[in-house]
């Protein structure tokens, strides 16, 4: 009864508010909030100096560089190809379009460990793809390039699925107006369509980037996990944990958590912008 | 607010928008109307191929389709095919043996058990959260929505780590649990909890937008007619959201059965006891039993395909329910 008296803005005839909200909050606290707060409390139990030492060790910094760098590269590549794929799926009719559309969600549905071993097999030196890259001097499996490939796989649907609805909603009148005013198709795209897509494209980019930062399962098989070279930050957390270095593991985790939360805020802002842009278009 | 949820969000907007795309311009008549004496001459000439002002030239269209398909084939289709190919490379017998050996079977059992516990838990939570968020107007709703999305933005490894910090030997409840002879970390309860965390928002994220679009008029009418809370839920709300609910369950289940990172941290990898299917694949792979690893992996790849098919079927129904809800909303306002 207390919840409804304190929180409800408007009285409702419907029953169940107290019990539903009470259960929601309890479950949220038990599953998410309390365990997450444990990470922050544990980190600072060791003091600032210990925290700083853990998060700034050369091996850890190298892992940040790889994780953030490969995630960024994968998100950029996904933004480009994701735009092309979303465009093709929304605008063109071709044989197998619906099949392809459904397949785009595969990285969401395929367990990451399966994706990991499949990509490793494909890109190893005698794999289907790796054997063609070898003569070119490109080694993918067990190198940072492999990390990039796995993160590209993981991130693709985010860009496509964020762009698709915006492309669907794009007002045809704008393009027609541009055409009647003498714009070429390319000019219409760069000056009329692309600006409308920008917020959604940035959102998709940020979502793919955020997902890639935390990714573990698909990466560890293909990365080779050499310290300082191809070791991602989530793996380092597990390594520290296995050495019973709880403060070390948690300190790195807190750095990653803060990065994800900042991204989360950024994504929220981007989405608000995107909605305003769409509403205005 | 992660990624997936955002995409779900966008998807639901896509569903709304799908019905209203207006055809651009009327097809221009391919031939000029015969005016004066030149009509008969024009008849003989093949009509110039015209395209709409809002369409790209055919060569651009074709190359864009080619680029898109090539990228998808290379990054999505080929890896999927590789799983099945590698699984069957040494023959179906080897694959079958790998799937039916005792450790694999116990991993399958544990994975099913984990999904069987975590999906219903998150289902109850999803319904409760959607009920209060969609049907009531209260302070702090946006904060609550953000918090529900939180697990999506946490790395799976960190999701596992935080449970170790709470329930591990060095953790908050470690000593108490040890004294009472209870094991959470490196045991089944920890695996279930980490999975619940990872799949926490899936069902809520599907239900909330739909129930918000549907509003509360129908439930209020039922209430005025004397229905009890349960009657309202079972007879009014549930039929209205059943497809979205199923959609959420499908996504939640796929992730619960396939989760690797979080479970890997809390499991302890005890063969035959705390190994889920994804962890079993990792062990086989690290022991260079590639054929066996891919055979077990093909089970999960099969699950992913089933998920995609179900998703494809159910998505349309959700779209339909969403469209009905938004149309009703527009008429009401």
pLDDT digits (tens, 9 = 90+) for A42-93: 888 878 888 898 899 999 999 999 999 999 999 999 999 999 999 999 999 9
Q: Which residues contact A131 (CB under 8 A, 6 or more apart)?
A: A125
State the pLDDT at residue A281.
Answer: 45
- Enumerate the residues of chain B whose CB falls inside 8 A of the CB of residue A234: 155-158, 261
- Enumerate the residues of chain B whose CB falls inside 8 A of the CB of residue A31: 193, 196-197, 200
Q: Which residues contact B141 (CB under 8 A, 6 or more apart)?
A: B133
Of the partner residues A25, A34, A103, the one whose CB lies closest to the CB of residue B76: A103
pLDDT tens over chain B, length 333 residues? 444 455 455 545 544 444 444 344 444 444 444 444 444 444 455 555 567 777 888 889 999 999 999 999 999 999 999 999 999 988 888 899 999 999 999 999 999 999 999 999 999 999 999 999 999 999 888 889 989 989 988 999 999 999 999 998 888 888 888 888 888 888 899 999 999 999 999 999 999 999 999 888 899 999 999 998 889 999 999 999 999 999 999 999 999 999 999 999 998 777 777 899 999 999 999 999 999 999 999 999 999 999 999 999 998 899 888 888 888 877 776
Specify the DSSP class assigned to residue B138.
B
Of the partner residues B4, B132, B307, the one whose CB lies closest to the CB of residue A24: B132
Answer yes or no: do A217 and B260 touch at CB < 8 A: yes
**Which sign does the torsion angle of CA A125, A129, A132, A135 carry?**
negative
- What's the gap between Cα B27 and its chain centre? 39
Q: Which residues contact A140 (CB under 8 A, 6 or more apart)?
A: A123, A129, A130, A133, A146, A149, A222
Answer yes or no: do B60 and A185 touch at CB < 8 A: yes
Residues B1 and A159: their CA atoms lie apart, in Å, by 15
State the pLDDT at residue B183.
Answer: 86
Write out the DSSP string of A128-186. TTHHHHGGGT---TTSHHHHHHHHHHHHHHHHHHHHHHHHHH--HHHHHHHHHTT--HH
State the pLDDT at residue B154.
Answer: 93
- Partner residues linked to A8 by β-bridges: B138
State the pLDDT at residue B8.
Answer: 52
State the pLDDT at residue B42.
Answer: 44
The torsion angles phi and psi of A237, rounded to 5 degrees, stand at -60, -45
Answer yes or no: do A16 and B229 touch at CB < 8 A: yes
- Residue A74 structure tokens: 């994968």
Residues A271 and A277: their CA atoms lie apart, in Å, by 10
A144-169 helix and A194-214 helix, angle to the nearest 10 degrees: 140
Nearest CA in chain A to B165: A38
This prediction's pTM:
0.86
Nearest CA in chain A to B310: A102
A112-123 helix and B277-286 helix, angle to the nearest 10 degrees: 30
Of the partner residues A14, A21, A179, the one whose CB lies closest to the CB of residue B54: A179
State the pLDDT at residue B24.
Answer: 41
Answer yes or no: do A217 and B312 touch at CB < 8 A: no
- Enumerate the residues of chain A whose CB falls inside 8 A of the CB of residue B151: 32
Q: Which residues contact A49 (CB under 8 A, 6 or more apart)?
A: none
Model pLDDT for residues A112-143, shown as the tens digit of each residue: 999 999 999 999 888 899 888 888 888 888 88
Most A CBs within 10 Å, among B1, B4, B5, B7, to test the A interface: B7
- Partner residues linked to B138 by β-bridges: A8
Q: Contact at 8 Å (CB) between A41 and A238?
A: no
Report the complex ipTM: 0.90
CB contact A281 to B (< 8 Å): no
Size of interface A-B (CB pairs under 8 A): 333
- Residue A118 structure tokens: 């499949």
Nearest partner of A253 among A31, A67, A26, judged by Cα: A67
User: Average pLDDT in the A216-242 region?
Assistant: 90
- Enumerate the residues of chain A whose CB falls inside 8 A of the CB of residue B82: 118, 121-122, 127-128
Q: Write down how long chain A is.
A: 281
- Residue B304 structure tokens: 């992913």
State the pLDDT at residue B333.
Answer: 66
Res. A232: pLDDT tops 90: yes
Res. A184: pLDDT tops 70: yes
pLDDT band, residue A270 (cuts 50/70/90)? confident
Burial B11-26 (b: 16+ CB within 10 A, else e): bbbbbbbbeeeeeeee
Distances (CA, A) of A213 to A36, A63, A147, A160, B273: 18, 11, 11, 19, 31
Task: Give the containing element (helix H, strand E) for B195.
Answer: helix B188-198
State the pLDDT at residue B27.
Answer: 41
Q: Which of residues 248-277 of A touch B (CB under 8 A)?
A: 249-250, 253, 256-257, 260-261, 263-264, 267-268, 271
Task: Kindly tell me the burial class for residue A153, based on how many C-beta atoms sit within 10 Å of its own C-beta (0-12, 13-18, 19 or more).
Answer: buried
Answer yes or no: do B131 and A7 touch at CB < 8 A: no
Answer yes or no: do B137 and A118 touch at CB < 8 A: no
State the pLDDT at residue B45.
Answer: 58
Residues A109 and B300: their CA atoms lie apart, in Å, by 9
């Amino acid at each position: 009864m207390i919840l409804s008296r304190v929180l409800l803005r408007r009285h409702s005839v419907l029953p169940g508010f107290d019990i539903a909200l009470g259960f929601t909050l309890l479950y949220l606290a038990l599953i998410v909030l309390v365990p997450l707060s444990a990470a922050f409390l544990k980190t600072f139990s060791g003091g600032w100096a210990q925290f700083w030492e853990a998060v700034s060790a050369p091996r850890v910094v190298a892992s940040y560089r790889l994780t953030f760098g490969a995630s960024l590269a994968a998100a950029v590549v996904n933004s480009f190809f994701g735009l092309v794929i979303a465009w093709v799926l929304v605008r063109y009719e071709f044989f197998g379009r619906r099949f392809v559309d459904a397949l785009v969600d595969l990285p969401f549905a395929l367990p990451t460990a399966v994706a990991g071993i499949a990509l490793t097999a494909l890109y190893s030196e005698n794999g289907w793809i790796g054997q063609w890259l070898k003569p070119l001097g490109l080694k993918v499996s067990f190198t940072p390039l492999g990390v990039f490939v796995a993160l590209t796989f993981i991130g693709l649907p985010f860009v496509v699925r964020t762009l698709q609805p915006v492309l669907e909603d794009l007002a045809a009148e704008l393009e027609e107006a541009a055409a009647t005013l003498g714009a070429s198709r390319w000019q219409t795209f760069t000056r009329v369509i692309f600006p409308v897509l920008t917020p959604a494209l940035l959102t998709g980019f940020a979502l793919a980037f955020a997902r890639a930062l935390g990714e573990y399962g698909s990466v560890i098989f293909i990365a080779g996990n050499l310290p300082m070279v191809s070791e991602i930050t989530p793996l380092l957390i597990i390594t520290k944990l296995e050495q019973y270095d709880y403060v070390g593991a948690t300190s790195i985790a807190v750095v990653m958590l803060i990065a994800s939360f900042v991204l989360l805020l950024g994504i929220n802002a981007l989405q608000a912008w995107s909605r305003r842009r769409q509403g205005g278009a | 607010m992660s990624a997936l949820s955002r995409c779900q969000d966008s998807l639901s907007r896509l569903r709304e928008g799908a019905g209203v795309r207006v055809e651009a311009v009327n097809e221009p008549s391919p031939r000029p109307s015969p005016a004066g004496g030149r009509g008969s001459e024009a008849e003989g000439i093949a009509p110039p191929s015209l395209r709409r002002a809002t369409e790209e030239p055919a060569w651009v269209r074709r190359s864009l389709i080619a680029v898109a398909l090539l990228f998808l084939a290379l990054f999505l289709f080929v890896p999927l095919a590789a799983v099945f190919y590698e699984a069957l490379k040494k023959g179906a017998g080897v694959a079958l043996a790998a799937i039916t050996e005792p450790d694999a079977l116990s991993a399958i059992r544990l994975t099913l058990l984990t999904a069987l516990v975590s999906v219903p838990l998150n289902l109850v939570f999803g319904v409760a959260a959607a009920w209060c968020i969609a049907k009531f107007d209260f302070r702090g709703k946006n904060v609550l929505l953000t918090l529900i999305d939180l697990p999506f933005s946490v790395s799976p490894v960190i999701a596992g780590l935080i449970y170790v910090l709470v329930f591990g030997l060095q953790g908050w409840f470690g000593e108490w649990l040890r004294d009472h002879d209870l094991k959470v970390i490196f045991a089944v309860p920890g695996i279930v909890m980490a999975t619940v965390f990872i799949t926490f928002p899936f069902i809520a994220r599907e239900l909330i937008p739909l129930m918000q679009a549907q509003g509360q008029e129908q439930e209020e009418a039922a209430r005025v007619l004397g229905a009890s809370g349960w009657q309202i839920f079972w007879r009014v709300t549930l039929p209205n959201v059943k497809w979205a609910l199923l959609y959420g369950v499908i996504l939640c289940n796929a992730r619960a059965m396939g989760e690797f990172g979080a479970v890997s941290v809390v499991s302890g990898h005890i063969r035959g006891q705390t190994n889920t299917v994804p962890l079993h694949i990792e062990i086989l792979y690290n022991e260079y039993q590639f054929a066996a690893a891919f055979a077990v992996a093909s089970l999960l790849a099969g699950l992913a395909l089933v998920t995609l098919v179900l998703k494809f079927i159910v998505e349309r129904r959700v779209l339909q329910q969403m469209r009905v809800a938004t149309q009703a909303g527009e008429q009401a306002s």
